[in-house]
Chains A and B, each alone.
Chain A
Amino acid sequence: MSTLHTRFRNSRTRFRSREGGLQPARGLSLAPSCGTKVPRGLKPALVLLSAALLLGQSGRSVWDGVYTTEQATRGSALYSSRCASCHGTVLTGGESAPPLAGGEFLSNWYGLTAGDLFDRIRISMPADRPGSLKRDEVADILAFVLSMNQFPAGKTDLERETEALKQIRIEPRPEQK
């Protein structure tokens, strides 16, 4: 059993590779995980692949104006009628639903993409009628959620295709350049 030991920055803990700790949920995908078992000979190839993926993803993040104000306004109306009863009028969540704005929300989505969040909504929301929102509507609601988290608006609407949205990273504010 070959076990790949890696020490991560500032880490108090040593991670083993064997268990594939970041297995994606069904139908969803995550960034390439550090936990996957890698045959020794493939290591250089993986490094290259990861670099390629990172480059491919480095195009956009939620800080790059990925939705429009008009879209967020459309999303706001949909949110009020389809989401607010559980997640709160200003996205603070309720006893049974998590907040959709603020630190707790962002902590759980940093490192994932707008596509992951889009699919989570599309597949399982709203809770009383999952799957009933059209892709356009999900995109509008997502634009509203992004706006409420103070990510900037831009000139083009958020896409409605999961694959395109997976190119948009959810991440903390980048360093000011």
Chain B
Amino acid sequence: MHSKRSSLAIAAGMAALAAAAWAQQPSTKNGEWPYYTADLKGSKYSPLDQINAQNFSKLEVAWRYKTDNLGPRPEYKLEGTPLMVKGVLYTTGGTRRSVVALDPKTGEVNWVYSLREGNRAAIAPRQLSGRGVSYWTDGKGDDRVVFVTTGYRLISLNAHTGQPIPSFGKNGIVDLKEGMVTGTGQQIDLETGEAGLHATPLVVKDVIIVGSSFKEGMTVVTHSNTKGLVRAYDAHTGKLLWTFNTIPRPGEFGNDTWENGSWATNGNTGVWTQMTVDEDLGLVYLPVESPTSDFYGGHRPGDNLFGESLVCVDLKTGKRKWHYQVVHHPIWDYDLSSAPILADINVGGRLIKAVALPSKESFLYVFDRVTGQPVWPIEERPVPQSDVPGEKTSPTQPFPTKPPAYGRQFLKIPDDLIDFTPEMRAQAKDSVARYRTGPMFLPPSVGDDKIIGSLTLGTASGGTNWPGAGYDPETHIVYAEANQSALFPISMRTPPEGFSDIRYVMGRNGTDFRVSEGPGFGTAADAPQAQRRPVAAPAAPAAPAGRGGGGGGGGGALTVQGLSLVKPPYAVISAINLDRGDLQWQVPYGETPDVVRNHPALKGLNITNTGQAGSVGLVVTKTLVILGDSQITSVTHPRGAMLRAYDKATGKEVGAKLMPAPQSGSPMTYMVDGKQYIVIAVSGGAYSGEYIAYALPE
């Protein structure tokens, strides 16, 4: 493939780069991958087709990059998606969240940058290496890499040298904690105040837009924690351009949806995932998360805008254009998890500039992205009401009429219970009998010695999570992976005396109280070497053997003979046609786990592919949908996890490649010197973080 002629062409191209490159913005059309989601529209689509159904299984490792030494300890949860711009690959890695620039053909290190943030990073609510970096160029040779540190600082680096840009912020750094507030406007402490971010900033034109996230909201110590916001900064200087308050202040639209003035005493409601933007329309799409706390809203009566809303704001001013709240008065941790996908579609002859929002709910919410009107009707339907003291649930919730849900949304009994054998189903029925069950939006309940709690499915870890979905702009099809076996028992209890000002937190009355920490909490480079805060209740030993898995509230086995209580498929991949609003195909994700294949009670049964639990990201190319397994298997191939290619038109698996560990980040693809590469972050179990690049053999 690599001819002399193409080498010459590339040499000539490089010589002309400084002069000519500004005319051409980085783009997947040039074989680049310039944004976390491939482009600003969130598609994760690349038109490359050198790697295809015929040769996918012939892929070989082109290079590997182990991230162990980018921090004092290895990282086992590497979630980055690299960028490839102008012949350099940029990403984050390691327990110190270092930025690396690599040669995209060999993986050789070009430069490494990291900031030693000490305790500020060690106590940060979003730790480890994050999702990667963003790229900005003035088109005249001023090329920069922009990222958010563990300690919530925005840093702009020279893309060629890895050195901070002196004229950006203070010596290359903008302190994002400045302007973050609690209550009615009290600035948080710059060192210990609660704020962080895993997502990459959204860089568009000369603007950098940054979201915010906070500690997990399950067992928080106060409902009045840091307030979420979204801010835009000048990409040249780091100057603050605008702020959008995701909890509206008095006089701002939506403030009255926080009854009894509760806007003043609640926090969270940040944007922790990727945002997208329509450059031409000048509109930015913000997927907003839940307010404090995740499962109890008794301190914030009302709908709580813009909690769990898709908000469209003006790129220049940050002013709200429209919003749609997909969950009113959020108490299920349905955080808007995924980058909104901008799609130009054709519905019955009507051309619509649409925005499609994948979700943990497994609904794909589709709106006209100019007006905010749903493309297909979204109905407000009555839902079950809470009996947790002080909680006031919304009488109705929005249900899209099209497209249909692309994953399970609640536990249907007995239909969704394990059914490999009648005995297993009987055991599953016994197990769920100790829980409250019901339809979607089944509210949390108080757990005690009789009822463990509400057994939900497809809530906190259901459907599509942070890696989001993908979209083919030519065929108008969204490809989404959805976890549909994520049972999530929600059980509420009163917190121990003095622990929290919230009346109900996650847990079960009469059992040990546990604090639920944020993702990777305490795993940063300079994590404190002492217990952070005493556990309120003394820890009593749990009974050793004989109890199966249980829920967040404890007790109540949620496995049957070591297997999921839910019947397969455990997760699915779907192709959703946005012109028609229907499912084009749906297939199990991955392959049957070893525990099912090797289970003694299932010997001799003919079990079709069960798929495997997990919520992962994907790449869409000219002909393929590419994504990796979330679990190790070893029955049909050597021990490892497979990177798989599915035919875009049919969902049929057309190729697979063994990886040493599960996919833990969302894959990307690019072409350099006539060769297409796929890069994916793998880690988990005993395998520490590694980026692996695959390409076809010479």
Residue of B nearest to A144 (CB): B544
Could you tell me if B659 and A25 are in contact, using CB atoms closer than 8 angstroms? no
Q: Which of A95, A108, A130 contacts B519 (CB 8 A)?
A: A95
Q: Which of B520, B563, B635, B653 contacts A10 (CB 8 A)?
A: B635
Could you tell me if A99 and B549 are in contact, using CB atoms closer than 8 angstroms? yes
Residue of B nearest to A27 (CB): B74
Q: Which of B51-90 contact A (CB under 8 A)?
A: 57-58, 60-61, 64, 66, 68, 73-74, 76
In the complex the two chains form, what is the Cα distance from A172 to B527 in whole Å? 37
Q: Which of A23, A77, A89, A124 contacts B511 (CB 8 A)?
A: A89
In the complex the two chains form, what is the Cα distance from A76 to B612 in whole Å? 29
In the complex the two chains form, what is the Cα distance from A9 to B635 in whole Å? 8
Does B458 sit within 8 A of A, measured CB to CB?
Answer: no
Residues on A with C-beta less than 8 A from B76 are 120, 124
Does A4 sit within 8 A of B, measured CB to CB?
Answer: no
Does A2 sit within 8 A of B, measured CB to CB?
Answer: no
Could you tell me if B632 and A107 are in contact, using CB atoms closer than 8 angstroms? yes
In the complex the two chains form, what is the Cα distance from A148 to B545 in whole Å? 5
In the complex the two chains form, what is the Cα distance from A81 to B539 in whole Å? 6
Residues on B with C-beta less than 8 A from A57 are none
Could you tell me if B61 and A19 are in contact, using CB atoms closer than 8 angstroms? yes
Could you tell me if A103 and B514 are in contact, using CB atoms closer than 8 angstroms? no
Q: Which of B541-600 contact A (CB under 8 A)?
A: 541-552, 554-555, 558-559, 562-564, 593-596, 598-600
In the complex the two chains form, what is the Cα distance from A19 to B460 in whole Å? 37
Which of A77, A96, A109 has the most chain B CB atoms inside 10 A of its CB? A96
Could you tell me if A98 and B684 are in contact, using CB atoms closer than 8 angstroms? yes
What is the predominant secondary structure among interface residues of chain B facing chain A? loop
In the complex the two chains form, what is the Cα distance from A131 to B596 in whole Å? 34
Does A92 sit within 8 A of B, measured CB to CB?
Answer: yes
Does A86 sit within 8 A of B, measured CB to CB?
Answer: yes
Could you tell me if A19 and B60 are in contact, using CB atoms closer than 8 angstroms? yes
Could you tell me if B522 and A110 are in contact, using CB atoms closer than 8 angstroms? no
Does A164 sit within 8 A of B, measured CB to CB?
Answer: no
Chain B window 91-118, contacts with chain A (Cβ cutoff 8 Å), 1 for yes, 0 for no: 0000000000000000000000000000
Could you tell me if B549 and A13 are in contact, using CB atoms closer than 8 angstroms? no
- A90-B550 contact in complex given A35-B638, A130-B527, C-beta closer than 8 Å: yes
Instruction: State how many angstroms separate the Cβ of A20 from the closest Cβ of chain B.
Output: 8
What is the predominant secondary structure among interface residues of chain A facing chain B? loop
Residues on A with C-beta less than 8 A from B60 are 16, 18-19
Instruction: State how many angstroms separate the Cβ of B129 from the closest Cβ of chain A.
Output: 14
Chain A residues bordering chain B, tally (CB within 8 A): 79
Residues on B with C-beta less than 8 A from A119 are 686
Does A22 sit within 8 A of B, measured CB to CB?
Answer: yes
Does A38 sit within 8 A of B, measured CB to CB?
Answer: no
Does B512 sit within 8 A of A, measured CB to CB?
Answer: yes
- A102-B559 contact in complex given A92-B550, A128-B528, A173-B600, C-beta closer than 8 Å: yes
Q: Which of A8, A85, A112 contacts B517 (CB 8 A)?
A: A85
Could you tell me if A34 and B638 are in contact, using CB atoms closer than 8 angstroms? yes
Could you tell me if B74 and A123 are in contact, using CB atoms closer than 8 angstroms? yes
- A77-B549 contact in complex given A109-B685, A127-B523, A128-B521, C-beta closer than 8 Å: no
Residue of B nearest to A131 (CB): B73
- A91-B549 contact in complex given A107-B633, A127-B521, C-beta closer than 8 Å: yes
In the complex the two chains form, what is the Cα distance from A9 to B521 in whole Å? 42
Could you tell me if A88 and B550 are in contact, using CB atoms closer than 8 angstroms? yes
Does A26 sit within 8 A of B, measured CB to CB?
Answer: yes
Does B134 sit within 8 A of A, measured CB to CB?
Answer: no
Could you tell me if B686 and A26 are in contact, using CB atoms closer than 8 angstroms? no
In the complex the two chains form, what is the Cα distance from A127 to B95 in whole Å? 11
Could you tell me if A96 and B636 are in contact, using CB atoms closer than 8 angstroms? no
In the complex the two chains form, what is the Cα distance from A88 to B553 in whole Å? 9
Which of B511, B515, B562, B655 has the most chain A CB atoms inside 10 A of its CB? B562
In the complex the two chains form, what is the Cα distance from A111 to B458 in whole Å? 31
Could you tell me if A11 and B61 are in contact, using CB atoms closer than 8 angstroms? no
Residues on A with C-beta less than 8 A from B2 are none
Could you tell me if B539 and A128 are in contact, using CB atoms closer than 8 angstroms? no
Residues on A with C-beta less than 8 A from B265 are none
Does B617 sit within 8 A of A, measured CB to CB?
Answer: no
Instruction: State how many angstroms separate the Cβ of A105 from the closest Cβ of chain B.
Output: 9
Residue of A nearest to B694 (CB): A19
Instruction: State how many angstroms separate the Cβ of A170 from the closest Cβ of chain B.
Output: 10
Does A133 sit within 8 A of B, measured CB to CB?
Answer: no
Could you tell me if B545 and A147 are in contact, using CB atoms closer than 8 angstroms? yes
Residue of A nearest to B554 (CB): A89
Q: Which of A1-43 contact B (CB under 8 A)?
A: 8-16, 18-23, 25-26, 28, 30-31, 33-35
Could you tell me if B521 and A89 are in contact, using CB atoms closer than 8 angstroms? no
Does B657 sit within 8 A of A, measured CB to CB?
Answer: yes
Does B27 sit within 8 A of A, measured CB to CB?
Answer: no
Residues on B with C-beta less than 8 A from A176 are 600
Instruction: State how many angstroms separate the Cβ of B652 from the closest Cβ of chain A.
Output: 11
Does B532 sit within 8 A of A, measured CB to CB?
Answer: yes
Closest 5 CB pairs of A and B: A128-B522, A19-B61, A90-B550, A172-B598, A96-B519
A-B contact pairs, 14 of them (CB 8 A): A25-B68, A25-B687, A26-B68, A28-B686, A30-B639, A33-B638, A80-B541, A85-B514, A92-B551, A106-B562, A107-B593, A111-B639, A128-B531, A147-B544
Which residues of A line the B interface, CB within 8 A?
Answer: 8-16, 18-23, 25-26, 28, 30-31, 33-35, 69, 72-73, 75-77, 79-81, 84-86, 88-92, 94-96, 98-99, 101-104, 106-112, 116-117, 119-120, 123-124, 126-132, 144, 147-150, 153, 172-173, 175-176
Taking A75-B544, A110-B595 as given, write out 6 further A-B residue pairs in contact, using a Cβ cutoff of 8 Å, ordered by the A residue number: A12-B636, A85-B535, A90-B550, A102-B559, A104-B631, A120-B686
